[in-house]
Amino acid sequence: MGRRRVSQVVTPRALPRFFVSPDALEARALPVEVAHQVRHVLRLKGGDRICLLNGVGGVYLAQLGEGAQITSLQPAALETELPVVVAVLQSLVRSEKAETVVRLCVQGGAQAVHFARSERSLVKWEPSKQQKHAERWQKIAREEAELTCRARLPEVRLMEDWRAAFQNLPRPVFVLDEWEGAMPLKQCCRRIPLPDALSLVIGPEGGFSPAEREWMAMQPDVHAVSLGARVLRTETAAFYALAQIAALWE
């Protein structure tokens, strides 16, 4: 029996991946921080290959030259996004929990992760701290998207007003909260055609207030849904919901 030939085709999933700007791609030169990661952390050399992503779906196989230069750049295919664009609105939680939310949501396929302070949120930051946290969360999103082979770079934002953030969400909106008569998420998804986009809304540790529930119930195309028999932590609920959506529609 002859040996089975192993394919030598290199795919984006087999290479280190980095998000870079369209300008860097056009100039065929790695940004300083990416060049440092490639040369001094990964120890790659001229002739080695990496995958570059432009953040909006463009995927390229790049061959390294000397220094930070790229000697060749070839378009490639990468089908790793969910078939529906998912935005997550998370009630503001402590910074360490917020980081967990970002990591898990990006891993689960969310395209946007928004934070806003609801009535029972336990934290309230000064504007300077808000900016600092938002920048760190976006950096975490980039790292997780590179690690999990995402073709698009998710957006992370810290919103000023909960109700405004809610009203601007893509519809339908699934609120993960145990309202009376809340339908299981999987059952609710099976009753609707696959949408182009949808949103998941998660409350804080103490849940939504009665006034918030009443207001959200009055908004268009909003559905109260349950994730099942077990009660999840606020920082893991969105990821659990994303996993169910992927299982149904991916």
Q: Name which of 199, 197, 190, 239 is nearest 219 in CA terms.
A: 199
Which domain CATH number covers 38? 2.40.240.20
pLDDT confidence of residue 126: 86
96 and 49 both lie in a single domain: no
Specify burial of residue 119 (Cβ count, 10 A radius: 0-12, 13-18, 19+): middle
Give the span between the Cα atoms of 30 and 18, in whole angstroms: 10
Domain closes at, from 75, 94, 117: 75
240 and 134 both lie in a single domain: yes
pLDDT above 90 for 41: yes
- Domain with 144 in it: 85-249
pLDDT above 80 for 229: yes
Tokens in use for 100? 């967990």
pLDDT above 60 for 181: yes
Q: 165 lies in a domain?
A: yes
Which domain CATH number covers 99? 3.40.1280.10
Q: What whole-number percentage of the chain has pLDDT above 70?
A: 96
The reply to whether omega before 172 is within 30° of 0 (cis) is yes
54 and 93 both lie in a single domain: no
How many domains in the chain? 2
pLDDT confidence of residue 138: 98
Domain closes at, from 54, 75, 96: 75
Domain closes at, from 75, 109, 128: 75
Across 223-243, average pLDDT: 94
Q: Name which of 52, 104, 100, 109 is nearest 76 in CA terms.
A: 52
169 and 66 both lie in a single domain: no
109 and 191 both lie in a single domain: yes
pLDDT above 80 for 6: no
Confidence of residue 179 (pLDDT cuts 50, 70, 90): confident
Across 32-37, average pLDDT: 95
**Rounded to two decimals, what is the model's pTM?**
0.93
What tens digit of pLDDT does each residue of 11-32 get? Answer: 999 999 999 999 999 999 999 9
- 86 within 8 A of 110, measured Cβ to Cβ: yes
Tokens in use for 73? 């750049």
57 and 22 both lie in a single domain: yes
Give the span between the Cα atoms of 209 and 203, in whole angstroms: 9
